[in-house]
Structure 1
């Protein structure tokens, strides 16, 4: 005679417990991978925090009282009538994005005359400066604020008009004592010119240049924020790995 076995609940009709369905387990390989990723996030987070703290501290200490990052002072001299920089190219950002303003902010120049003459400082397009100083005795400074500074002197005559009387400067200042010039850069080719106030010779002044560099204001906070986010992610990964273990 056949005997039919009926199962109900968690035991069979014979009283033996039924096997429980196995829960999905967090595999060893997955735990190892999560642990490695968490460790990498932890190291990267601490590195970004350190870099952010250094960036914030250095940025704060390097700025002058007006918030500009300034170069060291360098003597701009010429036996002629003018000292000019090499041409500086300022590029337009994509889709009209104001890259010079976002990256540099305002440009700042300080000039202290070392002779008896007052000093003139001006910024103009490279073409206008070339036209103004054509056939004028002048010196061109190349990388005046790098470790290796060179200058080129070209002999010639005097300028047709005093620098302050020319009308092509986009920014300029003139006076008997220390002078400061501030300019909001825009795309184009530009030159910085230093002359005596009356356009005489020789020229001698201590000059420093700098900029607001607003992009550096955000670099430190961005690094700090990113570091905190990565540390939180690393902690969450570590807790998940331990719980799954």
Structure 2
């Protein structure tokens, strides 16, 4: 074996002699328990990879217990992928767990590095860009795609791209012939091996740049050691205490950290809107949008404010003005325009038999109602709680109260078609309290998550570093 063929990532697989012709059709159901667990473990994988990033930057070492965890997650994901649609090379159900399973037909070994470059952690994601193009073509953005220094972003054990296509070819051949084409199997393993090497590099688990080559076949032709002076087949290493309780704690802590980051981002967005997004009158609003209809009216209905299913005011938080403050609606059209707010049922009776479009809560897919023109102009109706009409830009302000309301935009004379630029804004007096509360919640979740992860990660024992160690390479 030449030095050029060495790689610290070793992926092996053994093709079962007798595979079921039909089991692959239902494996997507069978792996659901694994997918659910792995989805949580990958959240912890990303969080711990960030911890490892800082550790490498400061000390030049990848923390051994974290290395054992991240390697275990990768090995577990590979077992599930091989069983399901990343290989379909075995019908043996993959075992649950982060530990070693050398008896399983699909195994993974990543040699733990003695030291890592502090500077390289800053640019690995950039150096791997050429590989992203290759493995994106192989995996189609689905399985094991690395993302920056934090590790991998996707967890689904199925594949798309060339891997998924070739596995599908193998499945069809298996269905009709009862055998998996050996050449196709070797090619799929070569592509998966390339993908996993890039993932390990981007996840900071090695400084060895992934080779640009397909090492095809079930048995990885690469040696386990990068350093020629290192032993070729390291023996079993002591466990690092990743018990079920510790794994659960690190997952919970990672979820808290991830949630805290999302909440913090939301709080920052609200802070920016509150401090920088207000106009001179103190309103926070949306950009004006173009709306049009071939009918006689555009209606946003219903706008429900603090009411239950029956339309009655809620007993709790029944003061929308305390949250929204004053509402401002504006409309501008080339012809005299009308904009008004009225009770939803009254507006419905007025527009019964009138051709109009009604927008739901998402503002999409308006419902068109056929009919004719209104019997009277909109301003003649007595039920509007706030309205404005005239040429040019029209603006109304309204102090909201609980109820079901409709916002209507029409031509002032009730004609058709209707085309206008509309915008909405609120004073939102409760916005400072909201982003402040979110920041407090962010801080509490972040502290709780960090403490949870910190206490859950076992301390590294004295002796050799961790790794997922497999037995002798399976023979083809």
Q: Deviations over 1:154-191 (max 9, x none)?
A: 22111111011111101100010101111111111110
2:406 to 180, 191, 198: 191
- In the comparison of the two structures, how many residue pairs are matched? 181
Distance 2:338 2:285 in 1: 19
Distance 1:70 1:178 in 2: 16
2:326 to 99, 106, 111: 106
Q: Deviations over 1:36-71 (max 9, x none)?
A: xxxxxxxx9xx89x8777653442112222222212
Distance 1:106 1:64 in 2: 14
Deviation beyond 6 Å, 4+ runs, structure 1: 50-54, 223-228
Q: CA RMSD in A?
A: 3.0
> TM-score with structure 1 length normalisation?
0.63
Distance 2:441 2:349 in 1: 50
- Give the match for residue 122 of structure 1: 340
Q: Is 1:174 matched with 2:371?
A: no
Please show how residues 1-245 of structure 1 align to structure 2 within 5 Å.
55-91=270-306, 95=315, 98-113=318-333, 115=334, 117-143=335-361, 149-220=364-435
Distance 2:302 2:441 in 1: 38
Mark the CA change 1:203 to 1:58 in structure 2 (over 3 Å): closer, same or farther: closer
Distance 2:372 2:352 in 1: 9
> TM-score with structure 2 length normalisation?
0.34
Distance 2:378 2:278 in 1: 31
Distance 1:192 1:75 in 2: 15
Mark the CA change 1:56 to 1:205 in structure 2 (over 3 Å): closer, same or farther: same
Tell me if the contact between 2:332 and 2:420 (Cα under 8 Å) persists in the aligned partners. yes
Structure 1 unpaired stretches of 5+: 1-43, 229-245
Distance 1:96 1:217 in 2: 21
User: Which structure dedicates a bigger proportion of its chain to helix?
Assistant: 2
Distance 2:399 2:360 in 1: 23
